Amino acid sequence: MSKIRFAVAGCSGRMGRMLVDAVLSSADGELVVALEHTGSAFIGKDAGELVGSACGVKITDDLSALSTCDVLIDFTRPEGTLAHLHACVQHKTGIVIGTTGFDAVGKAEIEAASKNIPVVFAPNMAVGVNAVFKLLEVAAGILNEGYDIEVIETHHRYKVDAPSGTALRMGEVVAKALGRSLDEDAIYGREGLTGERPSRQIGFSTIRGGDVVGDHTVLFAGLGERIEITHKSASRMPYASGSLRAARFIKDKASGLFDMQDVLGLR
């Protein structure tokens, strides 16, 4: 069986280095392209040196190199990801998108691109987190009366969007299971004289600090008991491993928009 030819965007970043390492360590993957933004000091350097072992792949900002790949994995920023997405459409290259913080226009561009290439777009690629999404769906269906729901997330000081995409997806899963609308029932912070908590409210709390990779908890608080469903990431490797799994899922697909629930068969 031929190896999957990978491209990694933002290869010099924290997540990018983890992805480079994961691809180089995989039995069925081959790193073909390592992308960085124009002007990066890393352009021209060997991508393998980012993780301690030269591999012969030079870091580039030339998006035409995507024509040599099967799948691009992208955990950069929305504006960068959309530029890479358009290049993927041009070169018929699949894409796994772990970037968060897209607005409605960006999400529409991703959906439009998926009519021409295969796309996995998910707020969190970790298999464990996606198992939690399924657990939340079940829990919300059971705890559908008399429980207040709060989503609490913690990330490192460098994260630029809040709440995290994972926290928002958790809220969406719970809201859907309860027949609620996150647009109408979510609150993203409290201050001052807030009044009594509405029963339908889904609260979000965001913590930023240090080097926390990512902690997420959904709290179901009832009278006399609390149920907490928590996922904690000790490293970025689960995101990288899940991304490779997503790439394997779309390698032979012509087009379509998928998420990790599709990849893992959890629909």
What span, in angstroms and rounded, lies between the C-alpha atoms of 189 and 182?
14
Rounded (10°) CA dihedral 28, 46, 59, 3: -10
What span, in angstroms and rounded, lies between the C-alpha atoms of 247 and 6?
9
Rounded (10°) CA dihedral 39, 44, 47, 53: -140
Listed as own residue / partner, the contacts of 106-112 with beta carbons closer than 8 Å and 24 or more positions apart are 106/78, 106/82, 109/82, 109/85, 110/82, 110/85, 110/257, 111/257
**Which residues are the active-site residues?**
155, 159
